[in-house]
Each structure stands twice: as C-alpha cells, then as structure tokens.
C-alpha cells in the first residue's frame, strides 16, 4: 500500500517539476493503482509466467499457464487452443470474467480461475461445442486432440500453431 502512495507522490512531484518546465506527464489512473497493488500481492505458481511487453504499461500483460496435467499443457492466453471453454478466437468462458465478476476480485483470483479452467475443463458451459462434446463422449479422444492441436496439428479441419516447448 505504501508503494501505491509513494507512486502517487512521485507522480505529483514529477508533475510539479515538469509543470515548471512546461511539460505534461500522464496521471496514474485508478486502474493502474489497482493493478499495481494486485501485482504486489500476486503469487504465481511454478506453472505460470507473466510478462509485460511494455514495462511502463502494467495494464497489458501476457499470462502463460503450463498446468501439470499432461492433456492441457502450455498456452499463452493469445494463442488458439482446443478447449471446451475457449473458442477459436480466444474468448474465454469463465464465470468470474462475466456474470460473477466483482470489483473485490483481484488478478490472483482471475489467474487461479484460469488455471482451474485448464485443469478442469467444463463441458457443460462450452464456447467450443465440438471440444465439449469430445470431452463428454470420450475423454481419451479429447486428450489426443488436445495433444495434437498443441503439437501444431489439426483437429476437425482446424489447424493449430505449435505451442509445446
């Protein structure tokens, strides 16, 4: 919490100094302050990595999750995946990202929710109906299709990029 206030104080001092010089600096938004606090409290497990393409922009980041379970191993949130709760455009069906969102939820809650989604795909609330049906009807076939898609193969006529290391 102290860092957030010190960031605000530093910004104010910089604005005062630059105001005298005739330059304007961007203000820190409430969203930036919230994300900064969430990042300080965030605990990522061994299977998750977070990167910031622009270190000065903490609102835009990439999260990579590498669950221990073999069938859903490794994707970045921006890559196409064969998953019942993620469509081919990358939209994610996770309740806390939609109807169950509350301002008290922090980044850690979202990341844990995403990790759970990879460990326990939900065939009863699908965005990718074919993957959901595959999971419901034959789990072994679903696992093979996930492995194939992540290795850069195709599933049901859809080609996937290789995402396995």
Report yes or no: 96 and 105 within 8 Å, Cβ to Cβ. yes
93 catalytically annotated = yes
**Dist. CA 35–CA 41, nearest whole Å:** 10
Alpha helices in the chain (DSSP H): 2-21, 30-41, 107-119, 129-137, 139-150
Query: Catalytic: which of 75, 81, 93, 123?
Result: 93
**Dist. CA 50–CA 62, nearest whole Å:** 6
Active site residues: 93
């Amino acid at each position: 919490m102290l860092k957030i206030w010190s960031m605000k104080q530093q910004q104010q001092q910089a604005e005062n100094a630059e105001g005298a010089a005739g330059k304007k600096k961007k203000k820190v938004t409430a969203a930036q302050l919230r994300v900064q606090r969430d990042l300080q409290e965030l605990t990522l497990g061994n299977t998750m990595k977070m990167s910031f393409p622009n270190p000065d922009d903490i609102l835009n980041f990439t999260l990579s999750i590498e669950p221990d379970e073999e069938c859903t191993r490794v994707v970045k949130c921006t890559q196409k995946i064969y998953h019942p709760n993620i469509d081919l455009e990358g939209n994610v069906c996770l309740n806390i990202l939609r109807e169950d969102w509350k301002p008290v939820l922090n980044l850690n809650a979202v990341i844990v929710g995403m990790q759970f989604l990879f460990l326990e795909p939900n065939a009863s609330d699908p965005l990718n109906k074919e993957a959901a049906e595959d999971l419901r009807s034959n789990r072994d076939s679903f696992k093979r299709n996930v492995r194939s898609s992540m290795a850069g193969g195709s599933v049901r006529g859809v080609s996937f990029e290789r995402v396995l290391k």
